[in-house]
Amino acid sequence: MSASKPLEDAIFYAAASISDPAQRQQFLGQTCAGNAELRAVVDEMLAAHDEAEPFFAKGRSALVLPPEEIPPLASAGKGAVENPKIDENIGTLVGRYKLLQRIGEGGCGVVYMAEQETPVRRRVALKVIKLGMDTKSVIARFEAERQALALMDHLNIARVLDAGATETGRPYFVMELVRGVKITEYCDQNNFDTRQRLELFIQVCHAIQHAHQKGIIHRDIKPSNILVTLHDGAPVPKVIDFGIAKAIEGKLTDQTLFTAYEQVIGTPAYMSPEQAEVSGLDVDTRSDIYSLGVLLYELLTGRPPFDPKELARSGLYEMRRTLREIEPQRPSNILTTLHGTELNATAAHRHAEPPKLISLLQGDLDWIVMKALEKDRTRRYETANGLAMDVKRYLNDEPIVARPPSRRYRFRKLVRRNQVVFAAGGIVAITLMIGLGLSTWMFLREKEARHLQARLREQAEQSEQREAELHRQTEAREKINLAAIYVSQEKFEAANQVLEAVTTPPPKPSFDGVSAYRSVGDWLGAHERWPDAAVRYAALMEIDKLDKWGAVTLDYQAYGVVLVESHEYAPYQQFCGATVDVFGTTTNGDAAGRILKTCLLLPPEEKLLARLQPLGEQAEKFFAFQDPKSDTGWATIPVGLWRYRLGDFRQAAEWCRRGLNEKDKTTAQTAAIRLILAMSCHRQGLADEAGSQLAKAREVIEANFKYGLEHGNAGEGMWYDWVFARILLREASALIGDGSRVDSVPKQP
Amino acid sequence: MKHGAGQARLNIEDLDLADTTPDENILLIDEALSCLEQEDPEQARIVVLKFFGGLTNQEVAENLGVGERTVDRQWACAKARLFRWIQAQT
């Protein structure tokens, strides 16, 4: 919010309530003194203020019932029932029906038993609607359906016979008289177990199916509209009030909902989400399926999925939101939330023990109910028969159709809040502003709505892709850990196989995982399986990129050796360049030494050599600084080799000689030093020394390789030290060997 | 420009405010509301409850835990601002 907004609002509001224009001007002059901008905004708001009202009113008119259709609050409510002028008296004639006895309160009216004289004599049920609705249109709407209603002929459906208007102008409906009890009450009274309840339920589904086939949607399925009577001792459920809900249907507003508290529209608890919507969406057969789902839920658990009192109490806005958004608890779940006595009572009415009841509902029954209760009507059962059949399958222990939601579906639930609902004619998109928890009705045209749908689908897919990627990475990590286990068991071949399957190493593998790569790489190197080793080390390089120091430079060293041995010269060059990129500025003596060794294994290009200058100086400083008799034998190689590559043979030889005298170097390293020395001597024309050093080195190296390379140990030399030495041996042999000339020094091919 | 059902797009600039259908009014109010929401979420919320939800001042006040006078003020300011925005667009 801009800083000035509250001020603007306050001044505007105060000014608006000043009716006298002169005073208002004065007020504005004072409060906005010196602030032209503020004055301008307030002036604009005041100008808008008057014109805004009709604009908003016009808009509002499209959202609500026209005033005539809203029953005035004063006359509605409890008064409507008690008022003797409006209520019909016993014994009076309503149309051709004589009222005999008041049977009860229906959803939105009073029900009487009446007697029909002509054309046949029979007892009927007569329901007078007590809402203050436009009787003419109610009757008209009913007439429209009358034909279809007349075609219905089903054991489980109570026929609607007639409709008319009372003297006082109230609409009434005449129905087949059903003497029975609400289905839920009936089942409880008789302690019907789950199976028996399901069998009753199936019959109800058949009735609804029959009606749907005739094109009639009930719209108001709830326990009080399903009465159970006895035919020859067998319970028969009968669905009543067909066609009435549509006839009296109006748009839901606060007024109609709260006029007579729960009585008016009946419990919203049974309303499908689309029925509750303000736009009065075209409700189809699937709304009935939803209500059937609620019925089933109540039959199984003793309560509907959403508490009716809560729904009515929270206000229209909240009610819609609940129905639209809140996922109800699964039947088995809700039982677990009940307190002891409630749970016991519920179970007793179902002729079962609490734990047994819960486990009975878990699984298939849960899924059947939840499928019928889907917010998205395309995901519900298509037909009442479909629902009935699944229940039947369950009773016969056959596999049901309803399935638990797939992962894709769960993702779509995440975007459920941005659901696009299509209405006949225009398109209504209901979007929820997540941050504010508000809902706005946006009237979009068709194109825009489809666009939104596509975007949402895309979003869902992207989320899926991201999840898939994470999944892949997790899999990779698991494989690497498995490889680590194999390594610890010294099953290197197995570990190698496992790592082969990992195509992209994930970021941040575990420490064990990294070691696994290294160990397997080592093992492969020791067995001279260069191509494989190269691949492993390449992966290790990828991982190492995240971790600059320590064991990593050892890896680089090993990798360099591997690349050369596999004759991968171009990659090797690239690798050297990349290594210097990463480590070129290290001040770590160890690291510097290893980089030098790695990059100078073969005669380097000038550019590379130049880039290694600082490293060389670093290593040399480090080396020179050491006490000649101390344990830095291993450090000889980098500096010796470096000087050699620079062409500074005398210095190189000097370093090497010193190194040979020092402790703390492996046998392999000694061999390497000898070779560097040999080459340096040779270049200085010191043939004898060159020859003898070469011979000594060759002897040791060949002996080692003769017996097969093990991993090596710290004393003898790691495998890569040996291979390193061998590479140098080749170079030295080619140089000196049979006394060939100086000028046939092999350059990098 | 003709208004009414069947129109592919609502071009705000082409609208004559005096001539709009109720549906178009709602559209405009909703668009304006998205802007107001950025500026003053509280006020925007009141618009939704009052205009779209049809709640009375008292009901809104109860819902949001504020005084009725506050609701009245916020609603008046919101309407003026929203309409001002709508006027500016057309």
Q: What is the ipTM of this complex?
A: 0.85
When mean pLDDT is compared across A9-23, A248-262, A408-422, A536-550, the lowest value belongs to: A408-422
Asked if residue B13 belongs to a domain, the reply is: no
Whether the per-residue pLDDT at A67 is higher than 50: the answer is no
User: Is residue A362 within 8 Å of A369, Cβ to Cβ?
Assistant: no
A254/A257 Cα distance (integer angstroms):
5
Which residue of A2, A49, A62 is in closest CB contact with B23?
Answer: A62
Whether the per-residue pLDDT at A242 is higher than 80: the answer is no
Which residue of B41, B74, B79 is in closest CB contact with A56?
Answer: B79
A642/A647 Cα distance (integer angstroms):
9
Q: List the CATH number of the domain containing B31.
A: 1.10.10.10
pLDDT tens profile A384-435:
999 999 999 888 776 677 765 443 443 333 333 233 332 222 222 333 222 2
Residue B12 with chain A: CB contacts under 8 Å = none
Asked if residue B5 belongs to a domain, the reply is: no
Residue B86 with chain A: CB contacts under 8 Å = 55
Residue B90 tokens read as 């057309």
Residue with tokens 């059962």: A381
| Residue in A closest to B19 by C-alpha | A55
pLDDT on residue A741? 42
User: Is residue A204 within 8 Å of A237, Cβ to Cβ?
Assistant: yes
Residue B75 with chain A: CB contacts under 8 Å = none
Interface check B64 vs A, CB under 8 A: no
Which residue of A48, A63, A436 is in closest CB contact with B37?
Answer: A436
Q: Which of the following is catalytic: A87, A153, A162, A220?
A: A220
Interface check A16 vs B, CB under 8 A: yes
| Residue in A closest to B30 by C-alpha | A442
Distances, alpha carbon A459 to alpha carbons A281, A450, A456, A736, B38, in Å: 27, 14, 5, 68, 24
- CA-only gyration radius of chain A, Å: 45
Whether the per-residue pLDDT at A339 is higher than 90: the answer is no
Q: Sort strands A427-433 and A418-422 into parallel, antiparallel or unpaired.
A: antiparallel
Whether the per-residue pLDDT at A495 is higher than 50: the answer is yes
| Residue in B closest to A54 by C-alpha | B18
| Residue in A closest to B9 by C-alpha | A445
Extents of the domains making up chain A: 5-61, 444-583, 613-738
The one-character DSSP state at A318 is H
Asked if residue B47 belongs to a domain, the reply is: yes
Interface check B68 vs A, CB under 8 A: no
Distance of CA A402 to the CA centre of its chain: 21
- Three-state DSSP class for residue A265: coil
| Residue in A closest to B35 by C-alpha | A1
Interface check B26 vs A, CB under 8 A: yes
Domain containing B44: what range? 18-89
Residue B55 with chain A: CB contacts under 8 Å = 254, 315, 317
Interface check A747 vs B, CB under 8 A: no
Torsion sign, CA atoms A67, A70, A76, A77 = negative
Domain A444-583 matching CATH 1.10.287: the answer reads no
Helix ranges (H only) for A264-307 are 285-301
pLDDT tens profile A649-684:
999 999 898 888 776 666 788 889 999 999 999 999
Residue A30 tokens read as 């004072």
Q: Find residues 234-293 of chain A whose CB sits inside 8 Å of chain B.
A: 253-254, 278
Whether the per-residue pLDDT at A207 is higher than 90: the answer is yes
Residue A628 tokens read as 């000649």
Mean pLDDT of A709-720: 56
Q: Find residues 418-457 of chain A whose CB sits inside 8 Å of chain B.
A: 425-426, 433, 435-436, 438-443, 445-447
Residue environment code for A22-36, b if the CB has 16+ CB neighbours within 10 A, otherwise e: eebeebbeebbeeee
pLDDT tens profile A140-169:
666 666 666 777 788 899 877 888 877 777
Residue with tokens 């399958």: A393
Residue B54 with chain A: CB contacts under 8 Å = 60, 63-64, 253-254, 316
Band of pLDDT at residue A80, cut at 50, 70 and 90: very low
CB contact under 8 A, B48 and A447: no
Asked if residue B58 belongs to a domain, the reply is: yes
CB contact under 8 A, B76 and A254: no
A471/A475 Cα distance (integer angstroms):
6
CB contact under 8 A, A64 and B27: no
pLDDT on residue A452? 58
Task: Using CB atoms within 10 Å of the CB of residue A425, give its burial: 0 to 12 exposed, 13 to 18 middle, 19+ buried.
Answer: exposed
Whether the per-residue pLDDT at A488 is higher than 80: the answer is no
Interface check B51 vs A, CB under 8 A: yes
Look at A434 and A697; give whichever has higher pLDDT. A697
Report the side by side order of strands in the sheet with A122-129: A93-94, A97-105, A109-116, A122-129, A171-176, A160-165
Tell me phi and psi for residue A169, to 5 degrees. Answer: 90, 10
pLDDT on residue A510? 60
Residue A352 backbone zone (phi > 0: left; psi -120 to 50: alpha; other: beta): beta
Which of A278, A445, A451 to mutate: most B Cβ within 10 Å? Answer: A445
Residue A127 tokens read as 């329901």
DSSP string, A615-637: HHHHHHHHHHHS-TTSS-GGGHH
Asked if residue B81 belongs to a domain, the reply is: yes
A687/A690 Cα distance (integer angstroms):
5
For domain A613-738, give the CATH number: 1.25.40
Residue A427 with chain B: CB contacts under 8 Å = none
CB contact under 8 A, B79 and A53: yes
Mean pLDDT of B59-69: 78
Residue B9 with chain A: CB contacts under 8 Å = 445, 447
Band of pLDDT at residue A87, cut at 50, 70 and 90: very low
Closest CA to A540 of A601, A479, A480: A480
Mean pLDDT of A163-183: 82
When mean pLDDT is compared across A117-121, A254-258, A371-375, A574-578, the lowest value belongs to: A254-258
pLDDT tens profile A544-596:
665 543 345 566 677 788 788 877 788 788 888 877 877 777 766 677 888 88
Residue B27 with chain A: CB contacts under 8 Å = 442-443
pLDDT on residue A708? 58
Contacts of A728-735 spanning 24+ positions with Cβ under 8 A: A728/A601, A728/A672, A728/A675, A728/A676, A729/A671, A729/A675, A729/A697, A729/A698, A729/A701, A731/A602, A731/A603, A731/A675, A731/A679, A732/A675, A732/A678, A732/A679, A732/A694, A732/A697, A733/A694, A733/A698, A735/A679, A735/A682
B30/A335 Cα distance (integer angstroms):
43
| Residue in B closest to A448 by C-alpha | B9
The domains spanning A444-583 and A613-738 adopt the same CATH topology: yes
Mean pLDDT of A65-82: 35
Asked if residue B6 belongs to a domain, the reply is: no
Residue B73 tokens read as 């003020």
Whether the per-residue pLDDT at A714 is higher than 50: the answer is no
Computed over every residue of chain A, the mean pLDDT equals: 74
pLDDT on residue B5? 40
Q: What is the pTM of this model?
A: 0.41
A668/A497 Cα distance (integer angstroms):
30
A641/A647 Cα distance (integer angstroms):
10
Tell me phi and psi for residue A435, to 5 degrees. Answer: -60, -45
Quick check: is A376 catalytic? no
Mean pLDDT of A195-201: 95
Percent above pLDDT 90 for chain A? 15
